[in-house]
Amino acid sequence: MARVAVLQARKSRAEGLDTKKIATNVAEAIYDNGARVVGIAPVTKMASIGGQHWLNMNVEDIFGGKTSFGETLKSAGGKVVPYGFVAYNWMHVLYALFCKNPMARAKKRRYSLK
C-alpha cells in the first residue's frame, strides 16, 4: 500500500493538486489496486509459519518432546520469510520516493494511478 500511496502522491503533487485531492487520489489508488497491493504476503506468512511448525514437530519427535502451534507462533522462525518480504517491499517504497517518473514506475509495477 505504501508503494502505491507514494507513487500516487508524487503524481498528484506533480499535477499541482491540493492536499485534499491528493489524499482522495491516494485512497482511491490504494482501493483500486487492492489485489496487487496485498499480493502474496498472507500466503508467504502462512507458508513460513506452517513450515516452521512442521520442522519444530519433527525435531521434538526426534527428542521425544511435543510442541504446540502456539509455541511456533511465539518463535522467530515462523517470521523470517515474512519479515524478509517486508524489508524487500520497503526498499521498493524508498525507491518510489526518489524515482524520477512515478507514472513509469507505476506502469512497470502494473498499478493504476488516478
- Is the model more confident about 76 or about 114? 114
Sequence ranges of the domains in the chain:
2-108
- Is the model more confident about 59 or about 80? 59
Which string of DSSP letters, residue by residue, matches the chain? -HHHHHHHHHHHHHTT--HHHHHHHHHHHHHHTHHHHHTTHHHHHHHHHHHHHHHHHHHHHHTT----HHHHHHSSGGGHHHHHHHHHHHHHHHHHHH-S-HHHHHHHTT----
pLDDT given for residue 19 in this prediction: 94
Indicate the pTM of the whole model.
Answer: 0.59
The proportion of the chain whose per-residue pLDDT surpasses 70, expressed as a percent, equals: 86
Alpha-helical regions (H) of 33-79 = 34-38, 41-62, 69-74
